[in-house]
Amino acid sequence: SEQLFVEMADVMATEGWRDAGYEFVCIDDCWMAPTRDKQGRLRADPKRFPSGIRKLADYVHSKGLKLGIYGDVGNKTCAGFPGSYNHYDLDAQTFASWGVDLLKFDGCNSGSLELLAEGYRRMSVALNRTGRSIVYSCEWPFYLRPVQQPNYTEIKQYCNHWRNFFDVYDSWSSIKSILDWTALHQDSIVKIAGPGGWNDPDMVSIFVFLSQLVIGNFGLSWDQAVTQMAMWAIMAAPLFMSNDLRHISPEAKWLLQNKEVIAINQDALGKQGYRITKDKNFELWERPLSGQAYAVAVLNQQEIGGPQNFTFSLSFLGNGLACNPACSVQQVLPASRDWGVYSWVSSLSVEVNPTGTVLLKI
């Protein structure tokens, strides 16, 4: 209901979320009335959004935040509400007139891959035509992948970020499957990411929309929550939370608002990280950052037992350039700690808990 989004906007403005960089309050599927109005326009469910979306957007904007909304490229949304097929211009104009700042555009019920692609292109053009700055979040490659390899160059021309894989769930198996899929396909997806267009692995404990973070819910251990936050930062993922900010633990809040991690995630260079090696249960990932720095994640995929050590040479990072001739090492997660200065030929030994990650900045 609109009251839920009002309360979330209040918490985001007063509990440090906005100041940490979280700026969108996003509505997902099921916000609509079951039918369009007499002029063919989308309308909000009158019982759950009695004041309408325009008033909600005004309230969200008054808190220094932005409003996101949901639509679908096909005849119906995934939950069976009116889709935007044959209404792309009208719906874009409607969203702009309401003051919407982000559109998550799903791909259910599109009929064919040709219609799907045409719909995503047409809505992009329609959004730009409104003259309002609206972030465009697509599910285009996810719906293409079972049949054909997505053309990411084309997708980036039209979309600001795009989903590649299944919805994230509040479970370690879901987080692990997303990381495994990303590593498997990194040769095709990492190179396209950058300012203006991002791969979206879905929410981080931020379980409401897009690149969702599920931290702050119930299905992840502390080490697994650290892993999700660290790896979403390495992957340059949009950070969207799908959780109840009114009832979040201090630990989850600290993790989600961690300014060092968010700085890595939002690094101006905009390059996505990638896995550089896998050794039994350990994975080593790196992400080039501005200022010739690197973010490095050491992930322990083992699910039983105690902490284990992983040792690697610093000459392995950044094609040998990250630490040449020397570098400082700062641990960011699971806690902030200065490791000092190392030479190019040094090795690091990192102790990592099962299903945990140690995030470093080199």
Residues assigned a catalytic role: 106, 167
Q: What does each C-alpha distance from 140 to 1, 3, 78, 288, 312 come to in angstroms?
A: 28, 31, 14, 27, 38
Q: What is the edge-to-edge ordering of all strands in the sheet holding 326-333?
A: 274-279, 282-288, 294-300, 357-361, 326-333, 337-343
Q: Specify the residue for token string 């996505």.
A: 272
Closest CA to 71 of 90, 57, 48: 90
Closest CA to 37 of 27, 55, 52, 20: 52
| Measured distance CA(330)–CA(193) in Å, rounded | 26
The b-or-e profile of 198-221 (16+ CB within 10 A means b, else e) is: bbbbbbbbbbbbbbbbbbbbebbe
Which residues is 297 bridged to in the sheet?
285, 359
